[in-house]
Amino acid sequence: MYYLVAFVLYLFWLLLSGHFTTLLLGLGGLSVLMVVWFLRRMDRVDGEVSFMRPSFGLLHFVGWLTWAVAKANIDVVRRIWDPKLPISPNWTRLDTQIATPLKKTLYANSITLTPGTLTTNAREDHLMVHCLTKENAEELRGGEMERRIRKLVL
């Protein structure tokens, strides 16, 4: 496992550096070794990390999320520049049927990533969400994002 991590790290280092002189390659190798040593001491590379396998469905969701984030951005910017500042902040409970930790993490983070909505707490069966406007809250309750995440096979 540590060999794999070291290999991937070194490839990443090569990608970032783009230099191929002996001195720099050696320094890069040295830093990779140090990182792996730290990781070993911290015992973080264990079997409990859950990975999201890249899939077509996930890609589709990311595409949809990007579009939703762009729309939400335009809405928030419009409200910021509006002289009347038409906001109605609210802090509500958002019930969810998403049960697996990975999907719930994805859901909460997607909400936070979207401007105008923000997850403050995640509990067993609900999230606490702060919204900039009532419309944001209603859109979340509409549950399109939740449906899309529940459909995902991770």
Q: Smallest gap, in angstroms, from Cβ of residue 98 to another protein?
A: 16
Nearest alpha carbon to residue 144 among 74, 91, 71? 71
CA distances from 53 to 13, 22, 58, 87 (A): 23, 36, 8, 39
Q: Does 80 bind another protein (CB under 8 A)?
A: yes
Size of the site for another protein (CB under 8 A): 33
Q: Which of residues 30-59 bind another protein (CB under 8 A)?
A: none
Take residue 106 and report the two structure tokens written for it.
């994805």
From 120, 123, 142, 151, residue interacting with another protein (rule: CB under 8 A): 120
Sign of dihedral through CA atoms 97, 117, 62, 47? negative
Binding site for another protein (CB under 8 A): 15-16, 18, 69-70, 73, 76-77, 80-81, 83-91, 108-109, 112-121, 130, 132
